[in-house]
Every structure is written in structure tokens, then in C-alpha cells.
Chain A
Amino acid sequence: MPTISREEAAHLARLARLELAPDELDHLAGQLDAIAGYVARVSEVAAEDIPPTSHPLPLTNVFRDDELKPGLEAQAGLAAAPEAEDGRFRVPRILGEEA
């Protein structure tokens, strides 16, 4: 049976760049554990002869031709950005990558 520990919840929060208070971690660890439990019950029902399903549609090989399609008008994408500079999206400095 799955158990999502408080440490695992903290790890997931870090991966998702979420800052969670200790009481939030306790709360969410419990909830995540419950969700994992529901999924595990579905797995129990699935017999050996049922392959894992990642896509509900019985489709393969959906392609488009390599043809240009108009994108966003110049700078329209930037218009929605919180900050822009020199035609580029401006973001806070990126830490922890390079010594």
C-alpha cells in the first residue's frame, strides 16, 4: 500500500518550487497518500491481461506536414509577460547552476 511520507511531500514541494509550511506538509502528505491509495485500488482490479494504458484513444501516428503556420504577431507573446527587455522575456536571476 502506498504511503506518502512527510519527507516525500517535502521533496515534491521542492521539485515543484512550492514553499509549504510544516502544517501544510502534514495536511498534503495525508491527502496525497489517500490519492495514491485510490490509484492502487484500481491497480488491484486490473488483471494480468490488461495492459497499462497511457492514452485512452486507440490512435497512433498523428502527424502534421512540415509547413509554416503563422505564429503570434511580433511581440504579442511578450505583451502578456510580467516583464520584458530587448524583445526578450525578463526573469529573475537563475541561481544554483554554476559556481
Chain B
Amino acid sequence: MTVTTQRLPTLAEAVARYDPVLGLEVHVELGTVTKMFCGCSTTFGAEPNSQVCPVCLGLPGSLPVLNRVAVESAIRLGLALNCTIASWCRFARKNYFYPDMPKNFQISQYDEPIAYNGWLDVVYEGVTYRIGVTRAHLEEDTGKSVHVGGATGRIHGASHALLDYNRSGIPLIEIVSKPILVPPAIAPAVGRAYVTELRMLIRALGISPARMELGQLRCDANVSLKPSGATEFGTRTETKNVNSLRSVERAISYEIRRQAAVLSEGGRVVQETRHWHEDTGETTAGRSKEQAEDYRYFPEPDLVPLAPSPEWVESLRATLPESPVARRARLQREWRLSDLEMRDVLNAGAVDLVAATVDAGSDPAGAKKWWLGQIARAANERGVDLEQVGISPSDVAQVQALVAAGTLNDRLARQVIDGVLAGEGTPDEVVAARGLAAVSDDAALLTAVDEAIAAMPDVAAKVRAGKLAAVGALVGAVMKATRGQADAARVRELTLQRLTGPAA
């Protein structure tokens, strides 16, 4: 059944009649140096097929050997998610034919995940929601395919596909939530808050940079609707390719509205995979799951079972960082923010960014102001997450340092941030290129410069005529007038600007 966008109800209309049930599957690419089962590098952005070996190409006779750090990462994440850690578990082969998996099976975990039955507390608008975690298991990533001949890399109309196996075999942890039932109107926002919280936790553990724009954190969103107050769940769809926090919220919201339209017209939701399209904000039907998938899982014969001893697990527990909730409470104290201000930082998905900016030397108030103000507006306009907008915490700290030093006033600082966001380089480069150098106490310096020029018209004339060396006398006069407290290099710059105009 096709439903046109024009007839979609709003989210408020949809949740007035139906309760959404969410299930989120998050894949995290681990930040290990090497792949899960071989010693190939995991560095992002290398030449295609330059980080491969017989194991990750699935060549006959090759054998996998498990990366200890990948296992430790999974146990640590499992513990941080309040999961039980399996005392004994195995890997399994998930059999399917697709060119991104050259072995024709993916090594994963099936009915024996390394971590299971946990939870994560998510705070939204000051209220805590405990989201259940069914399991967290280890598996290997697939290669990347490019479809050639169709429109914009899509499969439709493609003549052939090209495969790069650099990503094949990179360790992944898949975290599967239990059904998420929260107040219907905020379900999309809580879904987003869950992924945000998970990302903060993963970063705090140091197991992955979890950058969604690099595919290091990927979310599949399962959504189903049931009539308000009903207990039986409806048929669910699984939306793939949801790769920004903003998209998590939008994709869930779209699916709730779309399914509500289908159901209210007396239709039936089809159990299927759907694709999320960032540009249109819609999902489209993919593979139907009516014909149940048949992966014929069986225990991986090439890997022996995993049996983490209680001692090992406890020694890993001792390495856990403070919980995200405790960390936020500490940061709020350190940053001297009110509850409401801290909530704003959290809702903006900016806790890590503000923290990194403060770590790079900024004062907390300045860091918060930039990320939640001008940069957040730019991210909204461009429809991307804060992390994807094109300015780094160290850039922001640099701008804030220039402000603190009196080199930039607020107006100029905003221009510098605009410049960085426009891809003009680092703050220093933007300052130089745009000639944004200095004001504030420059105003005082300029008065002294003007007085010196007025007092030595012949020296000024020489400088104007191109004898730049003559400027030294003027600088000396200004330094004397300011009792040596001015920055001589800055005074020289200002004097030259006064006499020869700003640098190009």
C-alpha cells in the first residue's frame, strides 16, 4: 500500500491513536588496531583493498584467530550496560550469499551472546527512562560495495558492483535493545537520546570513536504500532542506514506517521526492511521479510569457545570509567551550570563536544555558548549533527582563546566560526585570511598609534612610501606611551595597517 506524504498524519495525530514500540539495534565498530580475526589494519580511508589478507578475503584454507582486545571491549561494554557476561559462549556462522561477505558467511554470535540482559538509563527532559538491553554480541563487519551504472550509487539500475574489503572483518559489537515503550509523543526523541547516551558510554569506555558520519556507530530502528492501550504488539518494520542522531529521531517519527496512515486506512503494515533517505526524510520499502530469513546458524568450527573467567571479568570491571550519569553530574559541577543548562547541553548531544573543548583549554561558558548557539544553528540549517558540521572542539577552544586574549571580540569571533564552518581552515587561518585581527584593547592601542603618527609625520610618510623598516620608530613611541605593556608585534601590525591599509 502506497501512502503519499501529503496524507501523512502529524506525529501528534499518529500517537493520539497508536502507541509506538521501538527496538533499536546499534552496531559499533571497535577502535582496535587490527581486525577481529586477522592482523590487518583497521585504519579508515586507506586505498581500496590495501588492508586485506587471506583471512578477511575469505580465501580457502585461512583460519581466524580472535583479537583479545575486541573481546575485552565487548566485556567492558557489557558490564557498563549492566549485562550478565556469559561464562561460556561460542561464535556462530550466519550463512548468506552477498558479495560484501566473501566467505559467504559472517562470523557472529547467535544464541550465546557474550553479554545479555542489561539496561541503560537515558535522561530526556529531566526524566530518566530505563531502556532494557537484550544482548550485546561480537561480530565482524562486511566489505563495502559501490554500485556502478545506476543513479547515485544505488542498486537500482546498476550494471555491476565494485567491492572494497578493507572494512571486512573489522570487529563490531551489536547492541540490541528490549522493546522501548515510553510516552508515545516523545518516543522518537527518547530513541535519539538512547543512541546519544550509548555513544557517550562507548566513548567514555574508549572502545570506539563512535563517529556516526564515518559509520563507526550505525543504528537500525525497529518500529511498530499498536492501538492506544492495547497490549499486543503490531507488525514491525526495520529501518536501516540511520546514521546520525538527528536521523534516528526523524526516521522513527516518519515510520510512526507512515504506519499510522496505513493502519488508519484499514491497511496492513508489511514486515520488511526499509531504507532511510536523509534528503527526503522518508523511508522506502526494501527487502520483504515475509519469507523468513534462513541463515542456518551453526557453531563456528574454526574458533574455540570463549569462556571469560570471573577473575578476568572482574579485572575488566575495575577498568570501567565513571558512569555517564555520574560524569554528567561532575561536569555540571565543574562547569557551574544549572540543571536546565546541563539539560540543554545533553539534549543538543553536546556533552562530549563541550567537554573536549574545555579539555582543549576553553572556559566552560564559552564552549557551551558556541556549541549551543551559532554552531547548533549552522548544524540545524544544514540538517546534520553537531559533530558533522565541520568545526572541532580544538577549533572552538582556539577561538575562545583568541577572545580571552582580547584579539577577537564577540562579533569577530562569530565571523571566525563562520569561516571555519565554511571550510576556510583553522581559526588562525580564517583570522589571517579574512584580516579579522584584533580590536577590544586594540582600540586603546590604535589611539596610541595615531598619536605617534601625528607626532612623527615624516616617519609616517616614509612608511607610507614603502620604507617599512622605518616603522620601528613609531612602534618604539607607542611602546613608550604604553609603558611597554603592549605587544610589540601587534603594535607593528596595527601601525602598518594604519599607514598602508589592511593586508590583502
24 A-B contacts, Cβ less than 8 Å apart? A15-B296, A16-B97, A17-B97, A54-B301, A59-B304, A61-B306, A62-B66, A62-B303, A63-B66, A63-B68, A64-B66, A68-B34, A70-B39, A72-B54, A88-B164, A89-B49, A89-B163, A89-B164, A93-B160, A94-B98, A94-B155, A94-B158, A98-B155, A98-B287
Since A71-B56, A77-B52 are in contact, a sample of 11 more A-B pairs with Cβ atoms closer than 8 Å, ordered by chain A residue number, is A55-B90, A63-B66, A64-B39, A67-B39, A68-B41, A77-B165, A87-B49, A87-B164, A88-B164, A89-B165, A90-B161
Chain B, 155-182, CB within 8 A of any chain A CB: 155-156, 158-165
Which residues of chain B have C-beta atoms less than 8 A from A93's C-beta?
Answer: 147, 149, 155, 158-161
Cβ-neighbour of B67 out of A59, A64, A95 (below 8 A): A64
Chain B, 325-340, CB within 8 A of any chain A CB: none
Q: Does A48 contact B (CB under 8 A)?
A: no
Q: Are A77's CB and B57's CB within 8 A?
A: yes
Cβ-neighbour of A55 out of B34, B95, B304 (below 8 A): B304
Chain A, 47-80, CB within 8 A of any chain B CB: 54-55, 57, 59-72, 74-75, 77-78
Measured CB to CB, the closest approach of chain B to A42, in angstroms, equals: 16
Report the separation of the CA atoms of residues A67 and B33 in the bound assembly, to the nearest whole angstrom: 7
Q: Are B68's CB and A65's CB within 8 A?
A: yes
Q: Does A22 contact B (CB under 8 A)?
A: no
Give the interface of A toward B (CB within 8 A).
Answer: 11, 15-17, 54-55, 57, 59-72, 74-75, 77-78, 85-99
Q: Which residue of B lies closest to A88 (CB)?
A: B162
Q: Which residue of A lies closest to B158 (CB)?
A: A93
Measured CB to CB, the closest approach of chain B to A31, in angstroms, equals: 18
Q: Which residue of B lies closest to A56 (CB)?
A: B301
Which residues of chain B have C-beta atoms less than 8 A from A91's C-beta?
Answer: 99, 160-163
The size of the chain B interface, using a CB distance under 8 A, is 61
Cβ-neighbour of B307 out of A61, A77, A85, A90 (below 8 A): A61
Contact (A74, B47) CB under 8 Å given A93-B160, A94-B99, A94-B161: yes
Report the separation of the CA atoms of residues A95 and B99 in the bound assembly, to the nearest whole angstrom: 11
Cβ-neighbour of A71 out of B52, B98, B294, B303 (below 8 A): B52
- Interface of chain B, main secondary structure: loop
Q: Are A88's CB and B285's CB within 8 A?
A: no
Which residues of chain B have C-beta atoms less than 8 A from A68's C-beta?
Answer: 33-34, 39-41
Report the separation of the CA atoms of residues A70 and B55 in the bound assembly, to the nearest whole angstrom: 12
Which residues of chain A have C-beta atoms less than 8 A from B69's C-beta?
Answer: 65-66
Q: Does B433 contact A (CB under 8 A)?
A: no
Q: Does B502 contact A (CB under 8 A)?
A: no
Report the separation of the CA atoms of residues A85 and B160 in the bound assembly, to the nearest whole angstrom: 11
- Interface of chain A, main secondary structure: loop
Q: Does B204 contact A (CB under 8 A)?
A: no
Measured CB to CB, the closest approach of chain B to A20, in angstroms, equals: 16
Q: Does B275 contact A (CB under 8 A)?
A: yes
Q: Are A69's CB and B39's CB within 8 A?
A: yes
Q: Does B51 contact A (CB under 8 A)?
A: yes
Report the separation of the CA atoms of residues A76 and B38 in the bound assembly, to the nearest whole angstrom: 17
Measured CB to CB, the closest approach of chain B to A79, in angstroms, equals: 11
Q: Are A99's CB and B57's CB within 8 A?
A: no
Interface residues as binary, B2-15 with A (CB distance below 8 Å gives 1, 0 otherwise): 00000000000000
Report the separation of the CA atoms of residues A72 and B108 in the bound assembly, to the nearest whole angstrom: 24
Which residues of chain B have C-beta atoms less than 8 A from A77's C-beta?
Answer: 49, 52, 57, 165
Q: Are A69's CB and B160's CB within 8 A?
A: no
Q: Does B412 contact A (CB under 8 A)?
A: no
Q: Are A15's CB and B155's CB within 8 A?
A: no
Among B49, B50, B54, B88, residue most surrounded by chain A Cβ atoms (within 10 Å):
B49
Which residues of chain B have C-beta atoms less than 8 A from A60's C-beta?
Answer: 88, 304-307
Contact (A72, B53) CB under 8 Å given A55-B305, A60-B307, A63-B65: yes
Measured CB to CB, the closest approach of chain A to B88, in angstroms, equals: 7
Report the separation of the CA atoms of residues A54 and B97 in the bound assembly, to the nearest whole angstrom: 24
Cβ-neighbour of A72 out of B52, B294, B304 (below 8 A): B52
Which residues of chain A have C-beta atoms less than 8 A from B156's C-beta?
Answer: 98-99
Measured CB to CB, the closest approach of chain A to B208, in angstroms, equals: 14
Measured CB to CB, the closest approach of chain A to B107, in angstroms, equals: 14
Q: Which residue of B lies closest to A92 (CB)?
A: B160
Measured CB to CB, the closest approach of chain B to A73, in angstroms, equals: 9
Measured CB to CB, the closest approach of chain A to B18, in angstroms, equals: 25
